[in-house]
Amino acid sequence: MQMQTTLSELVGMLQGDKPQLLNISEGVAVPPLTDRDGKPASKYVYMRRIHLRANAPYCVISIYLDEAVFRQAPERFRGELMIPILTSLPTVRIARAHQTLTIGTADSEVASHLQMPVNAPVADVRRVFRAPDDTVIYLGEVVYRGDLVQLEMDLVP
């Protein structure tokens, strides 16, 4: 899996992958936002899922989605990958998207879901999408199997 650097490349990378829902909590979740992330929405829907590629789990993701956005396509958001839906809805405008990648190790829950040893290397990715008014419409905290991640960067001279 290559970690993409544009939103459209990220959407393309996700095509064909499948989510498996572990947990959903509608309207009661409080995302762990920082001052730099943007303004919080009034309510969020929380989902914890496993994403599969070729029926193999490659990441565990915690998602906080603005409830007003979720209500536009609740069945799609429950059963499909989130980012392709967000970029396809005509009423949703992502004005800013940012992600941070750090290296960590798998705890027992993540290791179990991703079928890997405890303390195996993982890539922790935190994605924040903001609307034009600076409201955080999406926060994704993703744990990828470390043995599947490849990060490439063009270095500008």
Q: What is the pLDDT of residues 29-53, one digit of tens each?
A: 899 999 999 999 999 999 999 988 8
Block residue for tokens 């193999």: 56
- pLDDT tens for 51-106 read 888 888 989 999 999 999 999 999 999 989 898 999 999 999 999 999 899 999 99
One-letter amino acid at 120 equals A
| Domain boundary assignment for the chain | 2-146
- For residue 128, what are the CA distances in angstroms to 16, 22, 52? 23, 21, 22
Taking the C-alpha atoms of residue 49 and residue 27, their distance in angstroms, rounded to an integer, is 17
In DSSP terms, which residues pair with 139 in a beta bridge?
Answer: 64, 128
Structure tokens at 90: 């005509």
Measure Cα distances from 144 to 7, 25, 86 in Å.
18, 23, 21
* pLDDT above 90 as % of the chain: 62
- pTM, entire model: 0.86
The closest of 65, 84, 66 to 18, measured between CA atoms, is: 84
The values of phi and psi at residue 117, to 5°, are: -70, 150
Please give the structure tokens belonging to residue 88. 């396809």
Q: What is the CATH number of domain 2-146?
A: 3.40.1410.10
**Selection from 119, 105, 128 nearest residue 44 by Cα:** 128
